[in-house]
Amino acid sequence: MNTRIPPVRLRRKKLAQTILLAAFLPAVSVLVAVYLLFLAQTQSGAAGNAEIGIASKVENSKVTIDHQISEVVRVVKFISDIYPMVQLADPKYLQTIFESLDQEFINHIFEDLGVINARGFHMAYVGPYELLDKNYSREPWFVEVMEKGFYISDIFLGFRRVPHFIVAVKRGSGDSAWVLRATVNGFLFSSILDNIRFGNTGEVFIVNTKGLLQTRSLANGTFMQPVNDELLRIRHHPGVELYRSSLRDAPFIIGQAWLISKPDWLLVVQQDERDALAPVGATRNRLLLLLVGGLALLSLSAMATIRLVLQHFLQVNIENNLMDEQMIQSQKLAAIGQLSAGIAHEINNPLAIIGEEAGWLQDILKRESMKEFKEAEEFKDSLREIVSQAGRCREITHKLLSFARKMDSAIRDVELNVLLDEVASMREKDASLQNIKFVREFEKDLPILHSEPSLLRQVFLNLINNAIDAIRGGGEIRLVTRKNPDRPDKVSVSIGDSGIGIPKENLDKIFDPFFTTKPPGKGTGLGLSICHGIVQKIGGEIAVTSVPGEGTTFTIILPLEPPKDNGARSKEMGDADLITTGQTPRSLLQQHIGSAD
Amino acid sequence: MDERLPRLLLVDDEERFRQTLCKRLAEMGFPVATAGSGQEALARIREEPFDVVVLDVMMPGLSGMETLHEIQKLGCGVEVLMLTGHSTIESAIEGMRLGAHYYLLKPCDINELVEKIHSAYAVKQSRDQRLRQAEERALLDQMEKKIRF
């Protein structure tokens, strides 16, 4: 029996969709809500956070740089205060001082140390350059320090052609005045700020009041280059100033503050806003990834659940289908039985009349007066045929009616092996003439059945007849009885032939009434449907397996005890309640025809 | 033994069937009468004697079974053959239990019918004969009594 998959598939798809929807809808809505909340929360907060970040960078860098410069200044002032000029002018002594100074500053930002007299000449010098012969009297820084007593220069190249700045202290006065000058290496100083770069574009740099870079800058270039004044707003203000500016379509957040230790230097912290918001983006991406991952996990587990549920569902469905199919089959047979009984009954009367009319004519032809009638033989021949065909119809209607007829339900003890052997013996002689051998494989101690022997005989005889008809030119018919180890309350009988087999497309039609492959007049197509009806009635099951060219086996599973709803079953068979309900066959027939459309 | 053919009453609601079968049986020499319904049959039986009634089981109005009942009530000793469709075999058998002679499946072979008519008639004749003998015996007994006293 074939199971119809399509409706199952349809239901399966629907179920899968429902489960997915049920699992996903709440989860997705929660996740989306979380995500939206996160976006709302961060979008407003992110910009503010970025600004606060920049501001705090400004504060921190300012502290670092101020500390660094004031350290330098403190040290230079300290040296000039505690050592007399005579000692400092001694190059060896100055060398010692420089060395301890160099050790003091881990970043070695001091480049050299020099003592210069009032005329601008080096009295002593410690450092990598040949500067002893240089005269500084016209250098701006020298002029400044001589005038003010203390000076921190901007970054410049000077004689050495290397970016640096000077911290100079003047001691003494008049012609005996002298200047202690320390040089800070621009690169090393700048590297302090390099270390506090952040993100991709975040950086800290210093410009002077003219907008010239005092340290290196990623965005603006190297020492002493002017910064883009579109970007930067150089103006005096207290504390930290924060603003947004843009350069070549890149939005920047900028924070700036003037240094305390060197008041004409402006410390600038700037960062591309997109870069500043990037961590937020990254968090968002991580969250998004988490959401997608979660959904994937969810769908995987949902799929697994669905698969499990569906497997179970499908199993149940196949079983149901099988039962449905059997139910439909027996109901169909019952309906057809009823219908055909009605038809047979209706046809019977006209058939009787036809038979009688023909018989009457035959009677007349026998009269003396008909002796003269030349065509009498032709008439007789034709009438014989009418009578014989009416007889054939009669056979059919009688079979049809027996199909629907109420069987006498006499339950008796049945020894299945004996009964089957009896039936087989009835046909064995005929069969042996066609070279057909019967093989009996009977289970020895088969339990006794409580069933209807006459019905069983009818079924077995029918199946054996079919088996004989299926065999062409010799073969064998195998009669097998078996106990069923799985179902101790049932036994099985199978009747198999080595005949022509049944094509696959016919297999599910063979139990249908009027289905026959025999030539017209040779079979009514009712045998197997009667068998099916009988087996159903006595609570059994009939199944068929067939391989075209190899043979067919019918297997009947019979219960040891008759079914309890025997009466209901036989009513279903559409039998003689024609009378008990007082309905005429015609009205029944009309009912069937009426309900057919 | 009476050599004459039995007088038949053919009861069937199907007119043409009734008439043709009637003609055929008449052709064979049977004295045949027909009735189209149970009621009509009962009326005919009351009017004139019949030997064998061929009775269709399924008829509108008075059914075959009911007609059989009524015939039996009349107590005229007529034999009844039931004509039946396959689906009413049970009632035909029930009819035999009630005293019908036999049943025939419709459409039936005329020869089979004639055969059953003869056997039914034979039963009737033997019963009639016993009846007659019993009557004669009773008469004799009575006469004997009268003579003795």
User: What ipTM is given for this predicted complex?
Assistant: 0.80
- Count of Cβ atoms closer than 10 Å to residue B134 Cβ: 10
Q: Nearest 5°: phi and psi at B44?
A: -65, -40
Say whether A411 sits in a helix, a strand or coil: coil
Tell the burial category of A90 from Cβ atoms under 10 Å away from its Cβ (0-12, 13-18, 19+).
middle
Dump pLDDT digits (tens) for A396-434: 787 777 655 544 456 778 889 998 998 888 788 888 888
Interchain CB contact of A358 with B (< 8 Å): no
Q: Given a cut of 70, is residue A265 above it in pLDDT?
A: yes
- Reported as a pLDDT band with limits 50, 70 and 90, residue A538 is confident
Start-to-end Cα distance in chain A: 27
The rounded radius of gyration (Å) of the Cα atoms in chain B is: 17
3-state secondary structure of B86: helix
Q: For residue A348, which residues of chain B lie inside 8 Å, CB to CB?
A: 85-86, 106-107
Give the closest of B14, B20, B89 to A357, CB-based. Answer: B20
Architecture of domain B8-124: 3-Layer(aba) Sandwich (3.40)
Query: Quick one: tokens of A271?
Result: 């960062």
CA pair distance A141, B19, nearest whole angstrom: 155
User: Does the pLDDT of residue B24 top 80, yes or no?
Assistant: yes
- Tell me what pLDDT residue A552 has: 93
Q: Is A453 on the interface with B (CB under 8 A)?
A: no
Task: Using the predicted structure, report yes or no on whether residue A167 has a pLDDT greater than 80.
Answer: yes
Record: contact B17-A353, CB cut-off 8 A: yes
Contact between A481 and A452 under an 8 Å Cβ cutoff? The reply is no
Q: Does A466 touch chain B (CB under 8 A)?
A: no
Count CB-CB contacts under 10 A for residue A519.
Answer: 7
Residue A575 at interface with chain B, using a CB cutoff of 8 Å = yes
Q: Which amino acid would we find at residue A413?
A: D
**How distant, in Å, are the alpha carbons of A87, A98, A99, A124, A455 from that of A104?**
20, 10, 9, 21, 120
Mean pLDDT lowest for which of A171-175, A190-194, A511-515? A511-515
B82, B92 Cβ separation under 8 angstroms: yes
- Pairs from A55-58 (Cβ < 8 Å, separation ≥ 24): A55/A240, A55/A242, A55/A255, A57/A196, A57/A198, A57/A202, A57/A204, A57/A255, A57/A269, A58/A240, A58/A255, A58/A256, A58/A257, A58/A267, A58/A269
The whole-number average pLDDT for the span A282-306 is 84
**pLDDT tens for each residue of A233-255:** 888 888 888 888 887 778 888 89
Pairing of strands A551-559, B8-11: unpaired
> Of the ranges A312-321, A422-431, B72-81, which is most confident?
B72-81
- Selected for mutation to probe chain B from A347, A349, A393 (highest B CB count within 10 Å) is A349
Whole-number average pLDDT of chain A = 81
Residue A39 has pLDDT above 90, yes or no: no
Query: How large is the average pLDDT for residues A569-583?
Result: 37
Res A134: pLDDT: 84
Q: B-chain residues within 8 Å CB-CB of A404?
A: 87
Sequence ranges of the domains in chain B: 8-124
Confidence class for position A152, pLDDT limits 50, 70, 90? very high
Does A370 score more than 90 pLDDT? Answer: no
Return the HEC string of A121-133. EEEEEECCCCCCC
pLDDT-based confidence at residue B51 (cuts at 50, 70, 90) = very high
Which pLDDT score is estimated for A404?
57
Split at pLDDT 50, 70, 90, the class of A377 is: confident
Domains defined along chain A, listed by start? 407-572 (3.30.565.10)
Do A575 and A531 touch, CB atoms closer than 8 A?
no
For residues B83 and A356, is the Cβ–Cβ distance under 8 A?
no
Assess whether pLDDT exceeds 60 at residue A450: yes
**Residue A111: helix, strand or coil by DSSP?**
strand
pLDDT at A575: 39
Q: Mean pLDDT over residues A110-137, rounded?
A: 87
**Nearest CB to B21; choose among A356, A575, A578:** A356
Is some CB atom of chain A closer than 8 A to the CB atom of B129? no
pLDDT of residue A349: 83
pLDDT of residue A570: 41
Which secondary structure element, helix H or strand E, spans residue A146, and what is its range? helix A140-148
Strand order in the sheet with A265-272: A203-208, A265-272, A250-258, A241-247
Sheet holding B32-35, edge to edge: B32-35, B8-11, B52-56, B79-84, B102-105
Q: Does B66 touch chain A (CB under 8 A)?
A: no
pLDDT at A580: 33
DSSP string, B94-140: HHHHTT--EEEESS--HHHHHHHHHHHHHHHHHHHHHHHHHHHHHHH
